[in-house]
Amino acid sequence: MALCQNIGYDTMRMPNLLGHESPAEAVQQSASWLPLLARECHPDARIFLCSLFAPICLDRFISPCKSLCESVRDSCAPIMSCYGYPWPEILRCDQYPADHLMCISSINNSTVHTGGRRAPQASCRDCELEEASSSKDVLETFCRSEFVLKLRLKRLKDSLVSLSQFSLAAKLDVLKHGPLLGGEIRSRIELWLERDATCLRNMTRHHPQGGTFLVTGTVQGERLVVNKAFAWQRRDKNLKAAARKWKHHRCRS
């Protein structure tokens, strides 16, 4: 169950707290929540969802506390609503107990910090395609980013084979790899395609069959965070000029 990797335990009770009768059913239903976790809408979203999909195997069920549900809901529901998904009735918070020793409360004390660094917060405008106002501005974006990639996305005929609706074409141009090692770049991008549905939706809103895009971003642990995206089009001379100049460009310190 990709949703619940590395949460501190590896055995679960079935049926779970959502009424799933088998592990296979729980795994299938949990996959739809992976894109929301990718947006990091709340630091405790994973433990909240896993307490329901994969409750720890003890003599009795340990449900999430009402306060944990409300905290996750208040942070994540606005992001879900941007893409047409309301907070589901099956997760209504008034069904969970008030904080006490026999329910799961926040493990992060409602903070949004990880390792002393503020975690990226979800936004409905993640990866909105931008216009290259000038080659100079694009080069500055390249300098501020840890990686710069030119990639081509193709819409899958059957999206059931993947959580994403798009696949990565064979050719991948790496303008700046930063901390990414050469052999892992493609696999990391493919994982990003699987997990970052909100970002992809914005990028491909006017390109439903896919296309070529230039993306920039940062590396945070195992996760790639794309913060800017441009459609690679013939008429965009500023973007192409920046890509040509990048090989010889020296960023200001």
Asked if residue 177 has pLDDT above 50, the reply is yes
Q: Quick check: is 129 in a domain?
A: no
Q: Quick check: is 70 in a domain?
A: yes
Region 231-253: what's the mean pLDDT?
91
**Lowest-confidence range among 8-12, 33-37, 48-52, 109-113?**
109-113
Q: How far is CA 118 from the centre of its chain?
A: 16
Average pLDDT, the chain: 84
Asked if residue 244 has pLDDT above 70, the reply is yes
Region 148-159: what's the mean pLDDT?
84
Distance CA 132, CA 222 (A): 29
Q: Quick check: is 126 in a domain?
A: no
Do 232 and 250 touch, CB atoms closer than 8 A? no
pLDDT, position 120? 45
Q: pLDDT-derived band of residue 87, with 50, 70 and 90 as boundaries? A: very high
pLDDT, position 26? 93
Q: Quick check: is 139 in a domain?
A: yes
Q: Of the candidates 118, 146, 167, which is a domain's last residue? A: 118
Q: pLDDT-derived band of residue 191, with 50, 70 and 90 as boundaries? A: confident
CATH of the domain at 158: 2.40.50
Same domain? 47 vs 96:
yes
Among residues of the chain, what percentage have pLDDT more than 90?
A: 41
> Of 53, 54, 42, which Cα lies nearest the Cα of 107?
42
Locate 3 and state its tokens: 């949703």
Same domain? 103 vs 150:
no
Same domain? 93 vs 144:
no
Q: Quick check: is 160 in a domain?
A: yes
Same domain? 111 vs 173:
no
Distance CA 158, CA 72 (A): 32
pLDDT, position 163? 53
Same domain? 98 vs 14:
yes
Same domain? 83 vs 8:
yes
pLDDT, position 121? 53
Domain that holds residue 233: 135-248
Q: pLDDT-derived band of residue 94, with 50, 70 and 90 as boundaries? A: very high
For residue 102, the tally of other CB atoms under 10 A from its CB is 11
The DSSP 8-state label assigned to residue 59 in this structure reads S
DSSP string, 62-89: -PBPHHHHHHHHHHHHHHHHHTT-PPPG
Q: Of the candidates 118, 148, 171, which is a domain's last residue? A: 118
Q: pLDDT-derived band of residue 118, with 50, 70 and 90 as boundaries? A: very low
pLDDT, position 224? 83
pLDDT, position 35? 78
Same domain? 147 vs 232:
yes
CATH of the domain at 43: 1.10.2000.10
Same domain? 81 vs 144:
no
Q: Quick check: is 125 in a domain?
A: no
Positive or negative CA dihedral for 175, 179, 185, 190? negative
Same domain? 113 vs 139:
no
Same domain? 40 vs 94:
yes
**Better-scored residue on pLDDT, 213 or 222:** 213
Total domains, the chain: 2
Distance CA 73, CA 167 (A): 31
Q: Quick check: is 93 in a domain?
A: yes
Same domain? 114 vs 168:
no
Question: Does the global pTM surpass 0.85?
Answer: no
Give helix 45-53 / helix 66-82 axis angle, nearest 10°: 110
Q: pLDDT-derived band of residue 123, with 50, 70 and 90 as boundaries? A: low
Q: Of the candidates 64, 93, 118, which is a domain's last residue? A: 118
Q: Quick check: is 130 in a domain?
A: no
Same domain? 142 vs 94:
no
Among residues of the chain, what percentage have pLDDT more than 70?
A: 88
Region 138-150: what's the mean pLDDT?
94
Region 102-124: what's the mean pLDDT?
54
